[in-house]
Amino acid sequence: MNSRRPLRGVYAITDEVLLPADLLLTRVEAALRAGLALLQYRSKQGSESQRLQQARALVDLCRQYDTPLLINDDVPLCLAVGAAGVHLGQRDQGLTEARRLLGPEAIIGITCHDQLALALQAQEAGASYVAFGRFFASQTKPTAPPADIAILPQACRELDIPVVAIGGITAENGAALIAAGADMLAVIHALFAFPDVESRARKLNSLFTSPH
């Protein structure tokens, strides 16, 4: 997998409740100004036409900031808008099929919850990165199974691809996850639930340059 830069840093994920149509582009751009490793467009409720329109606008915006845009769980939409790749859950379209359709350079990530075995399988199948979590109480997915931080150093020893931590991450608790081995911190609520998105993104970014 060839990305334009190493996959390390803040991984922002959109949320249609926190980012209604009138706020989506302005708040995403605020995060992009601060610097993101990845942006994921996640929409579970929008119509097909709305999702297509928003994804196209986000692709254009992300290109201005040289930031890869991933589409959540939707390979056809990724292909339609020319996004950099997709993020898949364990019940979504298969990783092998997604890789076949999107090609060798697409960024394809997959949720592995708290199971290293799933991550090893994903790496073998061609995943670009794996995501573990939730590590803290999550407002986006409150019923998601918890993950122990101990899985991060173990994953770093056994995997050759980047490791993402997700679930209730804030600027206050993220440093421990980076110290344990997380290459990226996936953030939704702590970034987009407030108007000061750029300063929040900068604070999260600072965790990657601060000594732990």
Strands (E), the chain: 9-13, 38-41, 69-72, 85-88, 107-111, 129-133, 163-166, 184-187
For 9-206, CATH number out of 3.40.50.920, 3.40.50.300, 3.30.479.30, 3.20.20.70 equals 3.20.20.70
CA distance 96 to 101: 9
> Tokens 């081995």 appear where?
181
- What residue segments make up the domains of the chain, in order of their start? 9-206
**Strand pairing class (184-187; 163-166):** parallel
Helix (H) or strand (E) holding 97: helix 95-102
- The number of beta carbons lying within 10 Å of the beta carbon of residue 211 is 5
For the stretch 126-163, pLDDT in tens is 999 999 999 998 777 777 788 999 999 999 999 999 99
Instruction: Write down the pTM of the prediction.
Output: 0.95
Q: Taking residues 20-48, what's their average pLDDT?
A: 96
Q: Taking residues 10-20, what's their average pLDDT?
A: 97
